[in-house]
């Protein structure tokens, strides 16, 4: 369930932020902000569904998933193929996320 919440949160956050990007940087209508704000609220809600005893740990683990999702957005929605540095950085971030999520906890 947590991985689905993380994936949904990443998509919602990127879509929401892109709406603001489109408005300010791509000269789109201010009406782009309405779905953008809804998407950002959905992002925050989805992170509350992550199973974690501490919000900070949930957010830290989310960071790597967000980075990989942003690289996929770059490729799929913006048409820029990730280079080897994008891919290497994303892999390193996923490794860090895996350590945070699956690492043994004391207590």
Q: From residue 16, give the alpha-carbon distance in Å to each of 5, 12, 62, 81, 101.
A: 16, 6, 16, 22, 25
Condensed to tens digits (0 to 9), the pLDDT of residues 19-36 reads 999 999 999 999 999 999
Condensed to tens digits (0 to 9), the pLDDT of residues 26-74 reads 999 999 999 999 999 999 999 999 988 899 999 999 999 999 999 999 9
Average pLDDT for 7-27: 97
User: Can you give the pLDDT at residue 1?
Assistant: 84
Q: Which of 54, 30, 59 is nearest to 44 (CA)?
A: 59
Q: What is the pTM of this model?
A: 0.85
User: Can you give the pLDDT at residue 106?
Assistant: 82
């Amino acid at each position: 369930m947590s991985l689905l919440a993380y994936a949904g949160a990443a998509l919602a956050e990127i879509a929401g932020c892109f709406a603001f990007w489109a408005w300010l940087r791509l000269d789109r209508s201010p009406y782009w902000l309405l779905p953008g704000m809804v998407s950002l609220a959905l992002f925050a809600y989805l992170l509350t569904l992550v199973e974690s005893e501490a919000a900070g740990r949930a957010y830290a683990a989310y960071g790597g998933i967000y980075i990989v999702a942003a690289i996929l957005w770059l490729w799929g929605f913006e048409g820029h193929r990730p280079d080897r540095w994008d891919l290497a950085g994303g892999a390193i971030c996923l490794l860090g996320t895996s350590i945070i999520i699956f690492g043994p906890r004391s207590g």
